[in-house]
Amino acid sequence: MGKTIYCPFMLTEYKEKRDNLCITCERAVIHFGDEKERKDYIGLYCGSFHNWDRCSLAQSATRYYERIDNNG
């Protein structure tokens, strides 16, 4: 069974197209050196209930959507 993804900006195609060297979110496609590096990143950010919002890409997307909401 795969890792639960908590980051709301992770694209659904991540689950459909499991590339062992990259992840795809609304802000970027991140390429890693190997599968362990990718899994470590997902465990630290995308797949962490408490840390997903510490990712700079998630913070950027959050600021963008807050700005859009505030400007109508």
| Neighbouring C-beta atoms of residue 25, cutoff 10 Å | 20
Q: For residue 18, name the pLDDT band (cuts at 50, 70, 90).
A: low
The confidence band for 4, taking pLDDT boundaries of 50, 70 and 90, is confident
Report yes or no on 61 lying in a domain: yes
| Domain residue limits at 55 | 13-71
The token pair that represents 29 in the structure block: 């496609």
Q: Is position 41 within any domain?
A: yes
Residues 25-40: what's their mean pLDDT? Answer: 92
The pLDDT of residue 27 is above 70: yes
At residue 7, what is the residue type?
C
Split into its structural domains, the chain has a count of: 1
Span 54-65, pLDDT tens digits: 999 999 999 999
Residue 2 placed within a domain: no
This model's pTM is above 0.85: no
pLDDT at 19 over 80: no
| Residue from 4, 6, 25, 3 nearest 14 by CA | 25
